[in-house]
């Protein structure tokens, strides 16, 4: 099976840390694809997964997608990786590009009418084109593509936890980012110093929250369960001196 870099062109490859993978999860399936916002952009900032402006920066580097209901899964699909390739337009290169789900495709139109739909960032849409044909492909608007679920592999990166603004000693919300393997999570638990494991609630796609009736005693460990049931513990990843709007990098990944 093919193995290639995240993007269709070498000029883009140097800015991306996420690799394409040789092991398929589901096999190639048919789908529709559109693109949104800026022609060379990352789609809208923020999005329904909670990544906000991170989608424009490495390792995402704007190679991201919004997804219809069957792929977005009410936020449970956030962080999952897919290969996409187009073959039905003269401008198509035919080489797969790996994208990460970071947003929800807006309701109505092809997002709901099709069994699966990708509303790609403008940059991703153009990356499926032959050299020099990106604008021609984007001008086509709505095209047919093939897609394949693949494992995520964040080269040289461990899982990151960004403590969201508004967090305090009684309330903690974290954006969980760059999980290899499945990429998406089915459950998250928290254990503060001297406490037992307690479930966190999915708040906004990749953001999980925990409200406590008493003060959380840091350091705090977080246990992740991937969509396929694999568990991983980031021990003491939130330190005693934690602050809101800061990112804390663990030393583990799937």
Distance CA(47)–CA(55), nearest Å, equals: 9
Task: Answer whether 76's CB lies under 8 Å from 49's CB.
Answer: no
pLDDT of residue 43: 78
Task: Answer whether 203's CB lies under 8 Å from 191's CB.
Answer: no
CB atoms within 10 A of CB 22: 11
pLDDT of residue 212: 86
pLDDT of residue 45: 66
Burial 107-145 (b: 16+ CB within 10 A, else e): eeebbeebebbbbbbbbbbbbbbbeebbeebbebeebeb
H-helix or E-strand containing 69? helix 69-72
pLDDT of residue 84: 98
DSSP assignment of 42-58: -SSSSTTTT-GGGGGST
pLDDT of residue 39: 79
Distance CA(200)–CA(11), nearest Å, equals: 40
- Name residues whose C-beta falls within 8 Å of residue 31's C-beta, 6 or more positions apart in sequence: 84, 114, 115, 116, 117, 118, 144, 145, 146, 147
- Residues of CATH 2.40.40.10 domain(s) within the chain? 10-150
pLDDT of residue 37: 81
pLDDT of residue 8: 38
Within the chain, which residues score under 50 in pLDDT? 1-23
pLDDT one-digit tens code per residue, 40-72: 778 776 689 999 989 999 999 999 999 999 999
pLDDT of residue 235: 98
- Residues of CATH 2.60.40.760 domain(s) within the chain? 160-249
Could you please state the CATH topology (level 3) that the domain comprising 10-150 is classified under.
Answer: Barwin-like endoglucanases (2.40.40)
pLDDT of residue 243: 97
pLDDT of residue 237: 98
pTM value?
0.86
Distance CA(5)–CA(7), nearest Å, equals: 6
- pLDDT over 90 percentage in the chain: 78
pLDDT of residue 5: 33
**Mean pLDDT over each residue of the chain, to the nearest integer:** 89
Q: Does domain 160-249 fall into CATH 3.40.50.360? A: no
Query: Exposed, middle or buried: residue 240 (CB in 10 Å: 0-12, 13-18, 19+)?
Result: exposed
pLDDT of residue 221: 99
130 in helix, strand or coil?
coil
Rg from Cα positions in the chain:
18
């Amino acid at each position: 099976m093919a193995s290639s870099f995240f993007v269709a062109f070498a000029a883009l490859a140097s800015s991306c840390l996420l690799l394409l993978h040789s092991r398929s999860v589901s096999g190639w399936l048919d789908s529709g694809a559109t693109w949104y916002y800026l022609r060379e952009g990352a789609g809208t900032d923020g999005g329904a997964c909670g990544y906000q402006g991170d989608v424009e920066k490495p390792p995402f580097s704007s190679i991201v997608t919004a997804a219809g209901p069957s792929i977005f899964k009410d936020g449970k699909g956030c962080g999952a990786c897919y290969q996409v390739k187009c073959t039905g337009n003269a401008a198509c290169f035919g080489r797969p590009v790996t994208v990460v789900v970071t947003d929800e495709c807006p309701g109505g139109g092809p997002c709901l009418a099709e069994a699966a739909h990708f509303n790609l960032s403008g940059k991703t849409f153009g990356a499926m084109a032959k050299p020099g044909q990106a604008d021609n492909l984007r001008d086509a608007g709505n095209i047919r593509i093939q897609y394949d679920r693949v494992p995520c592999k964040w080269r040289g990166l461990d899982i990151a936890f960004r403590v969201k603004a508004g967090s305090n000693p009684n309330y903690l919300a974290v954006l969980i980012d760059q999980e290899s393997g499945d990429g998406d999570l089915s459950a998250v638990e928290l254990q503060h110093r001297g406490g037992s494991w307690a479930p966190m609630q999915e708040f906004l796609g990749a953001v999980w929250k925990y409200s406590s009736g008493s003060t959380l005693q840091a350091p705090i460990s977080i246990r992740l369960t991937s969509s396929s049931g694999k568990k991983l513990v980031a021990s003491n990843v939130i330190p005693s001196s934690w602050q809101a709007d800061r990112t804390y990098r663990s030393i583990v990944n799937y």
